[in-house]
Copies of this chain bind each other. A is one copy, B any other.
């Protein structure tokens, strides 16, 4: 029998949906009430399928279930793989009343959500995220999409799920590196808006990296609550939602430079948050002790603190210029005003930015 740990509601008017967090949920918790029609298509990957696909099917009693198993990995978050979802839907004659189910990490969630946004101009979908990163980040807020050779997540849609089901048991099979990557986003919530949560994380980090179920459940709940609160205020990222991108502009540049999939997203965000903190320090927004606190918690989570050795300041500048957070040519960055408070600004001094890049890159231009 499952054990329900937490439940919260993402408030988005008629697009509101619940996030259900528990232990032993998969296959035990009945999701069929969230399926409007009779058809379900579960999309997963070849790593997750052997462990969880049959269990996931058991969560939809009474429905006609098809399943599609995609190759695992960020490098498959592309048109070709997305099209396999449309092929499967059409070959199995799924109508516009079908429900798609994303069973896997962020790549599966983003692609399946985008497929749901586009199939016959939009069908419902359900998220069952199985990695820490996807549980605390990509399953909340409705951002979906795929990568383009010239930039990450450049093609996509906002499309909210009907429900998100998080089973903490699925974390027990994750490699430690992926848990660390997920913790980068967890730390981010503390840094941008919740000092009390950051205090708790500094205490609990040892348990978190040791896969302690209870600690992980609490971290997921508080992260989702942070993100749900932000997204509820600003679904389309016209304002406060952009602060969720702390570390992401530097991080995306690192991911693109390294080639998708070589650095995990969370690893790049970990280093990116340290770089953003460094720039915040140079801008005079935070002090040295704040900066050290950021570095310490990122390192304690087992995350890297420097970009790839071959990467130059010029690489950063060129890769950040096409980052989608830029508006009309100005480089927008999320910086810390304090530990627990972030701001979006296009006004960071170019000299300070250059100094940060020089300090973090092994190579000159």
Contacts and interface: CB of A to CB of B under 8 A. Distances in A.
B327 A157 contact: no
A146 to B, nearest CB: 9
Contacts of A148: 86-87, 90
A244 B151 CA distance: 39
B121 A145 contact: yes
Nearest to A156: B121
Nearest to A329: B95
Interface stretch (A100-108, A112-120, A263-271): A112-120
A8 B110 CA distance: 38
Nearest to A37: B328
A154 B123 CA distance: 11
Contact of A86 (B37, B93, B143, B154): B154
Given A79-B79, A121-B143, A145-B121, A95 B328 contact: yes
How many of chain A's residues touch chain B, expressed as a range? Answer: 35 or more
Interface string A114-133: 00011111100000000000
B157 A122 contact: yes
Given A86-B148, A86-B154, A321 B93 contact: yes
A326 B93 CA distance: 10
Nearest to A155: B118
A309 interface: no
A259 to B, nearest CB: 17
Interface in A79-107: 79, 83, 86-87, 90-91, 93, 95-97
A128 B328 CA distance: 24
Nearest to A117: B157
A97 B143 contact: no
Contact of A328 (B38, B119, B143): B38
Given A83-B79, A93-B322, A148-B86, A120 B154 contact: yes
Given A97-B327, A121-B158, 12 more contacts: A37-B328, A39-B328, A86-B155, A90-B154, A93-B321, A95-B324, A95-B328, A120-B154, A120-B156, A120-B324, A121-B153, A121-B157
The 10 A-B residue pairs with the shortest CB-CB distance in the complex, in nearest-first order = A90-B150, A120-B324, A121-B156, A118-B155, A97-B327, A95-B326, A97-B328, A93-B322, A37-B328, A96-B324
